[in-house]
Structure 1
Amino acid sequence: MKTMDPGVAHVLKRLHYPLEVILTCVRWYVAYPLSLRHLEEMMAERGIAVDHSTVHRWAIKLLPVLEKAFRRCKRAVGKIWRMDETYVKVRGEWRYLYRAVDKEGNTVDFLLRARRDKAAAQRYFEKSIRQNGVPETVTIDKSGANLAALHAVNAERDTPIKIRQVKYLNNVVEQDHRAIKRVIRPMLGFKDFRCARVILSGIEIMHMIAKGQMMHTGKIKPSAACQFYSLAM
């Protein structure tokens, strides 16, 4: 019998609802284009009284723990990356979600930054390399900041990463942004940068699970929901 992840157990100490209810609400929030009030109404139809602010609190507490668990069982990505950034509104201002996919469309990594500049892009590349290994090639658009960031990364390396600036090759990652933006849209913007970062990590996790990026044992592939719930165990 599986035991609960210690991090999840610690978070649940003061949450007075069954784990199944909490995980279901959190998964629905990051998997589908639903607002918190939609979730409140959906649970009420099932005879469970949950305030929308409570669901938000569950997500903020649980998702960092689930992200750590997912990182441990994420499949390796390819060595050819396509990187781009998209816009996310936080407290009424545009912030920048840096993302990359490999040539098969698998998500490499993601990072929310307040600015769109060389420092932000370099921070993204450093995080992605630390988590996923060094790519052979990175394709970017015509952004001078992204190019400068890659040159800075290469300056520290004996074998440089090949850089391609070909806009049409980045269609794969630009299309992949849409799946993330589709879930974000009903949220009508984030109120806080930290909350945005946490919720976006949950959306990215669920998106990666849906794309088959989570390792599992057994011949039969579990459903995306079962894979998400298994992160708590």
Structure 2
Amino acid sequence: MPSVDDLFKGRHFDREIIVLCVRWYLRYKLSFRDLVEMMAERGLSLAHTTIMRWVQRYVPEFEKRWNRFARQVGGSWRVDETYVKIKGRWVYLYRAVDKAGKTVDFLLRAKRDVAAAKAFFRRAFARHGRPPGKITLDGYQASHRAARELLTQHRAGGVRTRIRSSKYLNNLIEQDHRSIKLRLGPMLGFKRFRHAAITIAGVELMHRIRKGQFALSKFRAVGTTAPEIWSAVLAA
């Protein structure tokens, strides 16, 4: 992992400006051009494509650095899919939260099928080290099949996971989708799948930060501001 100085080496603008623009774009309902105007009021001349490139370049690095401080999630997951438009076509965002509403994982896929669901569960199991005690799904059978087939492989190691179907219990994940969709709406659709995946990862990161899913007690001295916490996390 490069040092924070190497990460921003050779950039025309200070790293504080880069982090601020990326953080605000991911967190608030702002377009690239909104940010250009806001920076112009502060005496900074930026092109909207510059901020777009910053988002694509730095979101994966920010995610890696914040994930070092991630708290564990609970053992009861609610899993569901929502829709995102890319170049005029709908694709599928698989997401899961635990019973306390903490984000478990997410994955953008072009299709909604068994292979896509397996890819999501495989990623989520690997990220958290093992399957959860319970997985709650809706009635879509492809997701049930994917979960069962992957869990069969893990059961040889003694893991027992209960799969259940409940529209009522999955209201929690459906409500959580709204926070993501409300931020994606002003972005007016994506042109490339890879760019969409990176941007969504950044939006999900900001959502996790807002939900307190990171152990940042050592950075939260009295009076510590968000920029100071970000600087400390990136430099740690």
Does the alignment reach a TM-score above 0.5?
Answer: yes
Instruction: Return the letter of the residue paired with 2:21.
Output: C
Instruction: Return the letter of the residue paired with 1:172.
Output: L
Pair 1:94 & 2:96 matched = no
Correspondence 1:151-230 to 2 at 5 A: 151-158=148-155, 159-218=159-218, 220=221, 224-230=226-232
Aligned length in residues? 229
TM-score by length of 2: 0.92
Instruction: Return the letter of the residue paired with 2:181.
Output: K
Q: Tell me the distance in 1 between the aligned counterparts of 2:228 and 2:174.
A: 28
Q: Tell me the distance in 1 between the aligned counterparts of 2:182 and 2:228.
A: 22
Following TM superposition, the consecutive aligned residue runs of length 4 or more in structure 1 with deviations greater than 6 angstroms are none
Unaligned runs of 5+ in 1: none
What displacement does 1:14 show?
3.4
What displacement does 1:82 show?
0.3
What displacement does 1:161 show?
1.6
Unaligned runs of 5+ in 2: none
**Paired residue for 1:37, among 14, 33, 39?**
33
Is the 1:209–1:228 contact (alpha carbons within 8 Å) kept by the matching residues of 2? Answer: no
Instruction: Return the letter of the residue paired with 1:189.
Output: G
Could you tell me the percent identity over the aligned residues? 46
What displacement does 1:225 show?
4.9
Q: Secondary structure at the match of 2:38?
A: helix
1:26-67 deviation line (CA, Å, top 9, x unaligned) = 000000111111111111111111111000000100011111
What displacement does 1:7 show?
5.6
Pair 1:77 & 2:73 matched = yes
**Paired residue for 2:14, among 15, 18, 30?**
18
Is the 1:8–1:62 contact (alpha carbons within 8 Å) kept by the matching residues of 2? Answer: no
CA gap of 1:9–1:195, structure 2 versus 1, over 3 A, is: farther
More displaced 10-residue stretch of structure 1: 216-225 or 154-163: 216-225
1:108-142 deviation line (CA, Å, top 9, x unaligned) = 01111111111111110111111113200000100
Q: Tell me the distance in 2 between the aligned counterparts of 1:177 and 1:28.
A: 20
Aligned to 1:145: 142
Instruction: Return the letter of the residue paired with 2:152.
Output: A
1:146-166 deviation line (CA, Å, top 9, x unaligned) = 101111112202233210101
